[in-house]
Amino acid sequence: MITFEQAYQIIRQQVVPLSSERVNLYECLGRVLAEDIFSDMDMPPFNKSAVDGFACRMEDITGETQNFSFLHIVETIPAGVTPGKKISAGQCSKIMTGSMLPEGSDCVVMVEDTETLDENQIRVLKTGTARNICYIGEDIKKGDKLLEKGKLLAPQHIGVLATAGVVNPLVYRKVKVAVISTGNELVEPDEIPAHSKIRNSNASQLMAQLIQTFSLAKYYGIATDDEQSLTVKIAVALETNDVVILTGGVSMGDFDYVPGVLEKTGVKILFDSIAVQPGRPTVFGKFNGQFIFGLPGNPVSSFVIFGLLVKPFLMGLMGCTEEFSSILLPLGKDLIRTKSSRKSMIPVRIVKSELFPIETHGSAHINAWSEANGIVAIEIGQTSIKKGQLVNVRQI
């Protein structure tokens, strides 16, 4: 049995990003950049008005002796139109937010600080003004690096790509993942379980988690607890997938065939037990360039191990270089456990910047986790964390 940290390092050492491909800008949400993105122009590309108002010369609206400034309107400049007139003394152009500043002007008076006398003349009602100008290149200079290779693309990054004119970014391809549930006791969620049977919650849960990673996931159904059924399911899944995830059949029981079947298939087992609770009987193996995870059959265990180990691995295969972060918050009440031989992952609820442990009855009690929005780790040998103590929490 290895530590959680050792398991994490073994998994990370196996990460080699998949091949890359160009995709349409509107299809790259959740993908990971396989190239750096540079700006092909200054932004703004010209001096533009930050407000609706009147572009004029600052010297015409300042002065210790003048109470009001009268300015003659020479033109109106809508957004997207190049100014046709140069601003001289006593002149202004009516201008819209985002419009190009006319030559000769160096400020924009806001509409609300003026009075319209007629269609050709305004009166400025205050002395001076803020510049109200967005200057050329103040946001981005041509050649600036906008996004780095390895960036997981969120909606705000899509806007940056569009700004740079990158309509077909190079991204890593999506990882193909197979999900197989194992167990004679399982029936699908749409069935009413007979005596000694239970509904299969793991597959639906894992498919949902995989959707959140933007993986290409496929469910291959339930394999019964016999070597032939497992062997066939695994062989079929390995034909077209990068990663195969199994749940159940990985512990020490008489009908836990997964580790043995994997070895007979030719899978090199890199570890098969982790000093973590929940999730001790977790298997990770390699088959040529493909990978196998054997997760515990209890739904809490598979949920937690997927989030802490499988998800980072999949994101790494898809080129993501960003580490999953945690935040430091105080406990709202004491957290106590009786056994400390394994690292424990405790569900917590974040309420008004405090952490409150959620009561759970073990690794089958998935209902308890429906109220959780964070995970706190208690290290090996540690039996308690006192109220008020700051701890790292990973949000889920």
Entry field: residues in the chain: 396
* b/e per residue 75-86 (b: at least 16 CB within 10 A): bebeeeeebeee
Residue 65 confidence (pLDDT):
45
Averaged pLDDT for residues 200-218: 96
Residue 67 has pLDDT above 80, yes or no: no
168-188 pLDDT, tens digit each? 999 999 999 999 999 999 999
- Six-digit token string for 342: 């394994």
Averaged pLDDT for residues 48-70: 85
CA dihedral 210, 216, 295, 282 (to 10 degrees): -100
Averaged pLDDT for residues 192-204: 92
Q: Find out whether 50 and 108 touch, Cβ atoms under 8 Å.
A: yes
Residue 324: band (very low, low, confident or very high) from pLDDT cuts 50, 70, 90? confident
The rounded distance, in Å, linking the Cα atoms of 374 and 69 is 61
Residue 160 confidence (pLDDT):
97
- Please name each of the domains of the chain with its CATH number: 4-17+174-317 (3.40.980.10), 20-43+139-172 (3.90.105.10), 48-134 (2.170.190.11), 327-395 (2.40.340.10)
Averaged pLDDT for residues 9-18: 96
Residue 255 has pLDDT above 60, yes or no: no
Residue 368 confidence (pLDDT):
85
Residue 323 confidence (pLDDT):
79
Per the prediction, the chain carries an average pLDDT of 93
358-391 pLDDT, tens digit each? 988 878 788 888 889 999 999 999 999 999 999 9
Residue 305 has pLDDT above 90, yes or no: yes
Residues in contact with 195: Cβ distance below 8 Å, sequence separation at least 6, in sequence order: none
Share of the chain above pLDDT 90, in %: 85
Residue type, 382: Q
State the SS3 of the chain: CECHHHHHHHHHHCCCCCCEEECCHHHCCCCEECCCEECCCCECCCCEECCCEEEECHHHCCCCCCCCEEEEEEEEECCCCCCCCCCCCCEEEEECCCCECCCCCCEEEEHHHEEEEECCEEEECCCCCCCCEECCCCCECCCCEEECCCCECCHHHHHHHHHCCCCCCEEECCCEEEEEEECCCEECCCCCCCCCCEECCHHHHHHHHHHHCCCEEEEEEEECCCHHHHHHHHHHHHHHCCEEEEECCCCCCCCCCHHHHHHHHCCEEEECCECEECCCCCEEEEECCEEEEEECCCHHHHHHHHHHHHHHHHHHHCCCCCCCCCEEEEECCCEECCCCCCEEEEEEEEECCEEEECCCCCCCCHHHHCCCCEEEEECCCCCEECCCCEEEEEEC
69-92 pLDDT, tens digit each? 899 999 999 999 999 999 999 999
Q: Which residues pair with 75 in a beta bridge?
A: 93
Q: Find out whether 319 and 215 touch, Cβ atoms under 8 Å.
A: no
- Six-digit token string for 376: 């706190």
